[in-house]
Amino acid sequence: MQLLIRSARVIDAASSFDGQTCDILLDNGLIRQIGERLTADEGVRIIEADNLHVSPGWVDLRVLAQDPGYEHKEDFTSLCRAAAAGGFTDIAVLPNTQPVVDAKGTLGYVRRMAEGQPVNVHVIAAVTKKAAGEDFTEMLDLHHAGAVAFSDGTHPLQNPDLLLKTLQYLRPINGLLMNRPEETLLTRYGQMHEGVQSTLLGLKGMPALAEELMIERDLRLLDYVLGQEPRAKGREQEGTVPSLPPSPFSPDSLLPALHFSTISSAKSVELIRQAKKQGMLVSCDVAAHQLVFDDSALAGFDTNLKVNPPFRSPEDVTALWEGIADGTIDAIVSDHSPQDAESKNLEFDQAEFGIIGLETVFASVMTYNQKVSLSQIVDKLATRPRQILRLPAVSIAEGQVANLTLFDPTSTWTYERTHSKSKNSPFLGQTLTGRVIGTVHQKVYTHNL
C-alpha cells in the first residue's frame, strides 16, 4: 500500500528535513521518498490537510491498560484506538492489572493481546510480586521476556532497601526503574493538594512534601548505587540535556537508571534539575493534565479532576512548564487511568483517582501552552520517551520504517466523544487547540479526519 503525505512540515531534530515542508511517499511501510511535488502510482492514497505537520511517532510512558482484570473499564482494543486517536504509535503500559504483570505468563498475555493493534504496546513489569512492595519478581526473566522497564506503577516503592537493591540488580542489564514518588504515610486519606484550597473545601490535603521527600531519598539511593561509575558530563549551559550515546543498548551508556513518573511540584523540578547538573542518571515526566489545572479547579468537586498526584498551586504549574522549557522534564505523558461511572459518580472523597488522557495530551498542552516551542513539545512526546525506554530511534528519512504522527498545531476542535470505554475526562465537551490528523504505524494508517 502506498501513501503520499502532501505538503507537511517536518518536526524532527534528527532529520535533515527538519523545519522543511515536504511531500513524503510511503510504500509498504517504508519511507521511500521525501521531496517536493512528488508523483505516485495511480490509486495511491493521498493525505493532505491545512497546516499539516509530521513528526516521529509519539510515545506515552505511562498508561494504565486495565486489561486483564478490569476490561469493563478498558480493553486493549479500546485502549489502542484511543492511543492512535491521540497521536501515539507506542505506549508503555503499567503492571497494575488483575493479575499484576509480575510473571512471564501475564506479560505474554499482554503482548499477545497487543498483536495487530494500531500502536506498539510495551510492557512495564512489576518490581515486586502483586506490586505489593514486599517480595521481588524475577526481573531478569521478565527482562528477557520483553519487559522494557520495571515499576510497581500506581504503587510507589516505599521500602528504601527494595529500591536500592532493584537499582543494583538492574545496572548490569542497563535496566530502567520507574517510580512515582510519594510518601504514602503523609498522604493517607488525602483527596487533593494540601493548601489554602483544601482548607476552604474541607478536604484532607496531600502535601507536596510527600513527593519531594521521596525524590530526595531516591536520588540519594541512586547516588549510592552509582558510586564510582562514570557520570554524565554536566550541561555546558543551562537548559540543555547531556547527549546520549548512539547505541541505547550499550551497558556503558548514559541513559537514565531511575525515572520519576508524574512529578507535580516546583521543588521536585528543582531537585531533579540539580541532580542532572551533577550528571546523575535520572529522568522524569509530567502528566499533561498537571500542566493545565491547579488546585483551584476542584472548587466544584468534579471527580473527573481527582488525580494522584493532585493538582497543585499555580506556582507549581509554572515551574513544571519551566522544567519542560529548560530540559529538566524529559517527557509529557497521559497518565491514562480509565475509571467507570461507578468509580467516579460518587461523593468526592469516595471517588477513585484518575483521568483518561490519551486523546487529549497534545491538545491540552497546545491549548494551555506557556511559551514552549513546538519542537520542544514534540521532543517530549516522541524523541526523549523513546530514548528513555531504550527503543530504537525513529527518524523521518528515506529508507526508514514509517512511524509517524500527523497533526495540526493550530486547528481547533471539540472533544465530543472518546474511543475509551471510560468517560472520566474533564476535557469532554471542551474546545481545544491542536488536532491530531492521524498516525502511520508501519503499514497501518489511522486517521481522525
Show which residues are catalytic. 335
Residue among 115, 113, 63 at smallest CA distance from 86: 63
Amino acid at 246: P
Pairing type for strands 88-93 and 58-63 reads: parallel
